């Protein structure tokens, strides 16, 4: 996994890794544990919600964490998902609201309800 695991308990992390074997965004099969030399294809922890909380001890929820590849993680950076979907990276790879994995879709639906 990435260098830090944000205090996520091993059991929760193992469940996420088992669920998200392919990147939730580009559906690439990822390398786990994290390989620095091949970070683009390695599994990384992705926070869906960039407003936080980011650390388990601060109330980070399982439903707000997914596993994505290093490429997608660094491409998204600090963008919101809708903003990132408009980026060239996503357009080229056909990454959008309807192509992403189920955990991301349900996150997006929860966000819409909040508004
Ligand atoms: Zn990816």
Q: How far is the CA of 74 from the centre of ligand 1 (A)?
A: 10
- Given a cut of 50, whether residue 2 has pLDDT beyond it is no
9 alpha carbon to ligand 1 midpoint, in Å?
A: 23
Does the model's pTM come out above 0.75? yes
Number of domains present in the structure of the chain: 1
How far apart CA 67 and CA 20 sit, in angstroms, is 6
Q: What percent of the chain has pLDDT over 70?
A: 96
DSSP summary character for residue 95: -
Span from the CA of 109 to the centroid of ligand 1 (angstroms): 21
- Residue 5 belongs to some domain of the structure: no
Tokens linked to 48 = 């869906």
- Residue 4 belongs to some domain of the structure: no
Q: Is 14 exposed, middle or buried (0-12, 13-18, 19+ CB in 10 A)?
A: exposed
What are the structure tokens assigned to 26, written together? 């580009």
3 lies in a domain?
A: no
Residue numbers of the domain that contains 106: 10-114
């Amino acid at each position: 996994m990435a260098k830090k695991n944000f205090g996520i308990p091993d059991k929760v992390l193992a469940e996420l890794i088992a669920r998200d074997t392919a990147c939730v965004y580009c559906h690439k099969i990822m390398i786990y544990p994290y390989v620095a030399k091949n970070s683009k294809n390695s599994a990384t922890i992705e926070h869906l919600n960039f407003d936080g909380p980011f650390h388990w001890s601060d109330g980070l929820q399982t439903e707000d964490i997914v596993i994505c590849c290093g490429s997608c993680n660094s491409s998204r950076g600090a963008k919101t998902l809708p903003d990132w979907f408009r980026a060239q990276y996503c357009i080229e790879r056909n990454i959008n609201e309807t192509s992403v994995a189920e955990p991301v879709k349900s996150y997006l639906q929860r966000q819409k309800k909040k508004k």
